[in-house]
Amino acid sequence: MTALKEVKVALAGNPNCGKSSLFNALTGLHQKVGNFSGVTIEKHEGYVDYRDYRIRFVDLPGTYSLTAYSPEELVTRNYLIENSPDIVVNVLEGPNLERNLLLTTQLMEMEVDLLVALNMFDEVQAQGIEIDVKQLQCLLGCHIVPTSAKKKQGLDSLLDHVIRVYEKDIEVKKNKLAFRPELDRAIEQITELFSHEPELGKYNLRWLAIKLLENDKEVYNVVRQYPAWVKIELILQHAMRETEAVYKADPEIIITEDRHAFIRGAMQECMKLPRDKKQSPTDYIDLIVLNRALGLPIFLFVVWVIFHMTFTLGTPMMDGLDHLFGALADTVTSLLPNDTLRSVLVDGLIAGVGGVLIFLPNILLLFIGLSFLEASGYMARAAFVVDKVMHRFGLHGKSFIPMITGFGCSIPAIMATRTLKSRSDRLATIMVIPFMSCGAKLPVYVLLAGAFFRPAVAANVMFGIYMLGIVFGLFSALVMKKTVLKSESEPFVMELPPYRWPSLRSVLVQAKNKAMMYLKKAGTIILLAVLLIWTFSNYPKNPELDVELDRQIAVIEQTIVDEEQKAHAIVEAENKINTAQLEYSLAGRAGKLLEPVIKPLGFDWRIGIALVTGLAAKEVVVSTMGTIYSLGETDETSSELKTILKNDPAFDQATALSLMVFVLLYIPCVAAVGVMRKEIGEWKSVAFYGAYALSAAWIFSFITYRLAQLVV
Amino acid sequence: MLLSDLRVGDKAEVTGLLADSSVRRRILDMGLVKGTRFKVLRVAPLGDPIEIFFKGVYLSLRKKEAAGVQVQKKGDVGDGMPIGSQRSRWRFGS
């Protein structure tokens, strides 16, 4: 067999043009997801073997234009310049051709080897829209292939055309868009000056000239170091004066207007809309979904459904996985002797891997839901409905769903912020999420509120804690948007795409990709951290305590005859020794070290240990307290622990309230921190956030403790 | 007149842009250039943002951003309700 010839193809197109569906239909499961270098924008790569060729596709981010204002657009055009793919396939949304062609004109300006996929052609036909493909080909100077990713039509034809363009069997004409004479003249002059600079070889010189007239900062930074810049600047100023005088607008506006004029001309020549155009289903659906009275209730219902799908459906699976790992741990325990290896395997590795995998069902379910909302067109509408409230706090309409998801678990919630396009909006949302009380904090609240308050009051206490989280989270967003994240504010100019029934395959592939990303990137950080915390709470060991335990067990064996009593006594002895070991370990020492710092909050060193180990996962606070109070395995319903806490002189209502506030606000669990690091892309912001959360936790707990002491 | 001054159901034509840099660019790229005719479809349940329709595009923008678009009103009030029989008289983007 001869080696396959490699063809590099980039897919470019507007958001919602069906580009990703086409990518999925073309490459099937031969794909991987990564990031474009330096930014957290997803890069989907895949390939298909067709005839004697291996055609490699890169799915570029969906963009309307190729300016330097948004990271997506920068990534797209930099990719085209730096990686110079053999062919660029511009995917167009057939029924919405006019708006889609703006990007096409800009790709034409870059003079790439262009091929157009006229996607959703089945819908074009169904709506009775007539498109003169031949004529449009003449105008654009490149071949156009009608496709339908959903019905898998025209895919082979597209691949055929890709190969024919690659083999130079089809010529790409690279037509030049004409601008108004004043600008065309300036473009020509600047191009001529650039042609004396051999270093600009990788760029298309005419494109550089157009971008300069459009006042493009990136291009400006590239070219201003060349000696020709002095002359170019004069040409630019001249062009500016001319257009201002003649058209009363700057070149940037004129260029865009000319592109639109070309498109409008092309549309008039090549497209005929049906004479009596029917109202589209989108018009009717939005009449209800975006109705002034019904819009909000419908939105809240959708959020409720997503939330329940993720957690009501996901929790049993989560428990199942938990049991599975529990069983695995038990098996290993029974097979291996009681030594360090067993401890590493069972308490470190299995617990660690389990701690990573346990979130998978939630992540999968949430992303199936979110992908569906996104692909169907509802996500943009959800943002439209709640934007006003969120905007008050400096957030975006799209921040709402991730925030709500945070009540279940921060991890999928933080990953869900990817639907937000602006980095500052994403950062702000990510930092709000951990203040929403997640499912793992609930056991702590249940235990403490249950132990120290009457049932009726306990409910109010829990409600208060939840509210404190929400209020403080939104307040934090507002403060951050006004200070650290001030410079980058994103305009809200957003398309509401027509409703479409998403393909099941696309939705599932997206959810799968998210899950893989979580496992690969966040999973490693989480696993490491869990192992680290395990080491902290186990080492150094005090060998004398082990000897002591053996001695005590020997005594028990001899003195107690009744089997049941004997077992009970042994467990009790083991717990006592375990507590002593924990006290001796690094975590225990950290707890003691922390005591002076947390004393003002009403906490002693034992709570300190619980807070340290609670970094592994918040519910561990409860089980650690169980260990410290020598109870062995404990959960929040354990009445024994409740009684012990109640009778502990160091513990009262004020301490309980203070501890609840602290658990609500302090650093999120390592899994969440790992995902945060992954999504933000750098440690600095994560560290800043950790410091912020810790100081907030300390201050609020202090206030709570002192106030509660006065009142209670 | 500014886009933000229009009411639901109004039809208008873009006459100029006041907004600057990134906002202006975004508006231009979405196709709201001089001469584009659009109608105001609706206001969000909480009063902001608004939704307009032109050339097959449903676009939402906050009132703050809408205040950067100069427009001239065309047709009668209520001419451009989201769904109505008036539409056949006057087609967008033509």
Closest Cβ–Cβ partner in A69, A384, A387 for B25? A69
Is A256 within 8 Å of B82 when comparing Cβ atoms? no
The pLDDT of B10-21, averaged and rounded, is 86
Contacts of A48 (CB under 8 A, 6+ apart): A26, A27, A28, A30, A54, A55, A57, A159
- Whether the CB-CB separation of A621 and A614 falls below 8 Å is answered with yes
- The fold for domain B3-77 equals SH3 type barrels. (2.30.30)
d(CA A604, CA B30): 60
d(CA A397, CA A520): 30
- Give the pLDDT score at B87: 42
Which residues of chain A does B36 touch, with a Cβ-Cβ cutoff of 8 Å? Answer: 260
Interchain CB contact of A333 with B (< 8 Å) = no
- Give the pLDDT score at A457: 86
* Residue B53 Rama label (left phi>0; alpha psi -120 to 50; beta): beta
Interchain CB contact of A552 with B (< 8 Å) = no
Q: How many other CB atoms are found less than 10 A from the CB of residue A448? A: 29
The pLDDT of A474-482, averaged and rounded, is 89
Confidence of residue B81 (pLDDT cuts 50, 70, 90): low
Interchain CB contact of B4 with A (< 8 Å) = no
Residue that the structure tokens 């049906």 belong to? A274
Chain center to CA of A37: 17
- Give the pLDDT score at A115: 95
- Give the pLDDT score at A297: 94
The pLDDT of A471-483, averaged and rounded, is 90
Interchain CB contact of B85 with A (< 8 Å) = no
Strands B50-54 and B37-43, bridge-based pairing: antiparallel
Closest Cβ–Cβ partner in B28, B33, B44 for A295? B44
d(CA A266, CA A244): 27
Q: How far is CA A328 from CA A78, A322, A324, A358, A620, in A?
A: 49, 10, 6, 14, 20
Q: Residues 17-36, chain B: which have Cβ within 8 Å of A?
A: 17, 21-31, 33-36
Strands A42-50 and A31-35, bridge-based pairing: antiparallel
- Give the pLDDT score at B92: 42
Which residues of chain A does B3 touch, with a Cβ-Cβ cutoff of 8 Å? Answer: none
**pLDDT exceeds 90 at position A679:** no
d(CA B87, CA A276): 10
Q: How close does chain A come to B80, measured CA to CA in Å? A: 13
User: Rg of the Cα trace of chain A?
Assistant: 31
Q: How close does chain B come to A388, measured CA to CA in Å? A: 6
Interchain CB contact of B60 with A (< 8 Å) = yes
Q: Which residue of B has its CA nearest to A256?
A: B28
d(CA A97, CA A108): 16
Which residues of chain A does B28 touch, with a Cβ-Cβ cutoff of 8 Å? Answer: 252-253, 256
Mutate to test the interface with B, among A287, A492, A499 (most CBs of B within 10 A): A492
Least confident among A294-298, A311-315, A324-328, A705-709 = A311-315
Residue that the structure tokens 């975004």 belong to? B26
Interchain CB contact of A256 with B (< 8 Å) = yes
Q: Torsion over CA of A208, A209, A212 and A216, rounded to 10 degrees?
A: -30
Which residues of chain A does B52 touch, with a Cβ-Cβ cutoff of 8 Å? Answer: none
Closest Cβ–Cβ partner in B17, B41, B48 for A253? B17
Chain center to CA of B42: 10
d(CA A359, CA A416): 14
Chain center to CA of A667: 20
d(CA A650, CA A599): 11
Which residues of chain B does A283 touch, with a Cβ-Cβ cutoff of 8 Å? Answer: 82-83
Of residues A176, A179, A194, the one with CA closest to residue A235:
A194
- Give the pLDDT score at A371: 84
* Both tokens assigned to A144: 């156009």
Angle CA(A85)–CA(A86)–CA(A87) in degrees, nearest 5? Answer: 90
Of residues A302, A316, A501, the one with CA closest to residue A404:
A302
Is B29 within 8 Å of A64 when comparing Cβ atoms? yes
d(CA A72, CA A103): 13
Give the number of C-alpha atoms closer than 13 A to the C-alpha of residue B88, restricted to the C-beta side: 6
d(CA A474, CA A484): 15
Closest Cβ–Cβ partner in A257, A296, A494 for B45? A296
Mutate to test the interface with B, among A493, A495, A500 (most CBs of B within 10 A): A493
Q: Which residue has the higher pLDDT, A353 or B62?
A: B62
Least confident among A9-23, A126-140, A249-263, A325-339 = A325-339
Compute φ and ψ for A68, nearest 5 degrees: -100, 10
The pLDDT of A679-702, averaged and rounded, is 92
So what's the ipTM on this one? 0.85
Q: How far is CA A491 from CA A102, A319, A429, B65, in A?
A: 20, 43, 16, 7
Confidence of residue B89 (pLDDT cuts 50, 70, 90): very low
Q: How close does chain B come to A71, measured CA to CA in Å? A: 12
Q: How close does chain A come to B90, measured CA to CA in Å? A: 12
The pLDDT of A259-279, averaged and rounded, is 85
What would the pLDDT profile of A497-545 be if each residue is shown by its tens digit?
889 888 888 888 888 887 887 787 667 776 777 777 778 877 788 888 8
Q: How close does chain B come to A290, measured CA to CA in Å? A: 7
Angle CA(A257)–CA(A78)–CA(A172) in degrees, nearest 5? Answer: 65
Which residues of chain B does A260 touch, with a Cβ-Cβ cutoff of 8 Å? Answer: 31, 33, 36
**pLDDT exceeds 70 at position A447:** yes
The pLDDT of A115-128, averaged and rounded, is 92
What would the pLDDT profile of A571-613 be if each residue is shown by its tens digit?
778 777 877 888 888 888 888 888 899 999 999 888 888 898 8
Contacts of A49 (CB under 8 A, 6+ apart): A4, A55
* Both tokens assigned to A179: 């601008």
Is B93 within 8 Å of A386 when comparing Cβ atoms? no
pLDDT-above-70 percentage for chain A:
96
Q: How close does chain A come to B38, measured CA to CA in Å? A: 14
**pLDDT exceeds 60 at position A305:** yes
The pLDDT of A331-343, averaged and rounded, is 81
- Whether the CB-CB separation of A414 and A368 falls below 8 Å is answered with no
Q: Residues 52-81, chain A: which have Cβ within 8 Å of B?
A: 64-65, 67, 69
Angle CA(A433)–CA(A355)–CA(A37) in degrees, nearest 5? Answer: 60
Strands A53-59 and A114-119, bridge-based pairing: unpaired
Which residues of chain A does B82 touch, with a Cβ-Cβ cutoff of 8 Å? Answer: 283, 286-287
Interchain CB contact of B13 with A (< 8 Å) = no
Q: Torsion over CA of A630, A635, A637 and A643, rounded to 10 degrees?
A: 20
The pLDDT of A537-559, averaged and rounded, is 82
Average predicted confidence (pLDDT) for chain A:
86
- Whether the CB-CB separation of B93 and A273 falls below 8 Å is answered with no
What would the pLDDT profile of A20-72 be if each residue is shown by its tens digit?
889 988 988 777 777 776 666 778 899 999 989 999 999 998 899 998 878 88
First vs last C-alpha separation in chain A = 83
d(CA A147, CA A285): 27
Q: How far is CA A682 from CA A39, A389, A617, in A?
A: 11, 30, 22
3-class SS of residue A68: coil
What would the pLDDT profile of A373-402 be if each residue is shown by its tens digit?
888 889 889 989 999 988 888 888 888 888
d(CA A172, CA A142): 5
Compute φ and ψ for A104, nearest 5 degrees: -60, -45
- Give the pLDDT score at A488: 57
3-class SS of residue A56: strand
Interchain CB contact of B48 with A (< 8 Å) = yes
Confidence of residue B85 (pLDDT cuts 50, 70, 90): very low
- Whether the CB-CB separation of A107 and A114 falls below 8 Å is answered with yes
Closest Cβ–Cβ partner in B16, B31, B58 for A102? B31
Confidence of residue A416 (pLDDT cuts 50, 70, 90): confident
Least confident among A192-196, A422-426, A531-535, B58-62 = A531-535
Hey, what amino acid is at A541? K
In total, chain B counts a number of residues equal to 94
Is A98 within 8 Å of B93 when comparing Cβ atoms? yes
Q: Which residue of A has its CA nearest to B88?
A: A276
Interchain CB contact of A306 with B (< 8 Å) = no
Is B22 within 8 Å of A491 when comparing Cβ atoms? yes
Confidence of residue A104 (pLDDT cuts 50, 70, 90): very high
Q: How close does chain B come to A276, measured CA to CA in Å? A: 7
3-class SS of residue A215: coil
Q: Which residues pair with A272 in a beta bridge?
A: A130
- Whether the CB-CB separation of A141 and A175 falls below 8 Å is answered with yes
Confidence of residue A693 (pLDDT cuts 50, 70, 90): very high
d(CA A90, CA A672): 38
Confidence of residue A487 (pLDDT cuts 50, 70, 90): low
d(CA B48, CA A386): 9
Q: How close does chain A come to B51, measured CA to CA in Å? A: 9
Interchain CB contact of B67 with A (< 8 Å) = no
Q: How close does chain B come to A493, measured CA to CA in Å? A: 4
Least confident among A120-124, A617-621, A692-696, B44-48 = A617-621
Q: Which residue has the higher pLDDT, B52 or A509?
A: B52
**pLDDT exceeds 80 at position A276:** no
- Give the pLDDT score at A443: 81
Is B51 within 8 Å of A496 when comparing Cβ atoms? yes
What are the structural domains, with CATH classification, of chain A?
A: 5-166 (3.40.50.300), 181-272 (1.10.287.1770)
Angle CA(A103)–CA(A105)–CA(A110) in degrees, nearest 5? Answer: 95
Q: What is the pTM of this model?
A: 0.80
The pLDDT of A474-491, averaged and rounded, is 80
The pLDDT of A618-624, averaged and rounded, is 79
**pLDDT exceeds 90 at position B59:** yes
**pLDDT exceeds 60 at position A236:** yes
The pLDDT of A467-490, averaged and rounded, is 84
Of residues A339, A110, A308, A362, the one with CA closest to residue A211:
A110
Interchain CB contact of B43 with A (< 8 Å) = yes
- Whether the CB-CB separation of A481 and A342 falls below 8 Å is answered with no
Cis geometry, peptide bond prior to residue A540 (ω within 30 degrees of 0): yes
**pLDDT exceeds 60 at position A148:** yes
- Give the pLDDT score at B38: 92
d(CA A146, CA A185): 37
Least confident among A55-69, A130-144, A428-442, B15-29 = B15-29
The pLDDT of B49-57, averaged and rounded, is 91
DSSP A300: H
- Whether the CB-CB separation of A46 and A26 falls below 8 Å is answered with yes
Hey, what amino acid is at A217? K
Of residues A585, A568, A576, the one with CA closest to residue A549:
A576
